[in-house]
Amino acid sequence: MSLPTGTVSWTGELVDEKRRQPVVETRTGFEGKVWDVVRDTVDLGPAGHAVRDYITHPGAAVVLALDDEERVLLVRQYRHPVGTFLFELPAGLRDADGEGPLDTAKRELHEETGYLAQTWHSLVDLYLSPGASAERVRIYLARGVRPHPDGRPTDLTGEEYGMPVLWAPLADLVRGVLAGELHNSSLAAGVLAAWAARWDGFASLRPADAAEE
Instruction: Give the strand order in the sheet containing 36-43.
Output: 23-31, 36-43, 49-55
User: Which residues are 51's β-sheet partners?
Assistant: 41
Burial of 139 (0-12, 13-18, 19+ CB in 10 A): buried
Count of residues in the chain: 213
Any catalytic annotation for residue 112? Answer: no
Q: Parallel, antiparallel, or unpaired for β 60-65 and 136-143? A: parallel
Contact between 140 and 122 under an 8 Å Cβ cutoff? The reply is yes
Closest by Cα among 138, 140, 121, 145 to 66: 145
* Distances from the Cα of 101 to the Cα of 18, 67, 134, 184, 188, angstroms: 19, 22, 16, 20, 20
Nearest-angstrom CA–CA distance, 105 and 90: 8
Pick the catalytic residue: 160, 181, 212, 213?
160
Please give the positions annotated as active site.
160
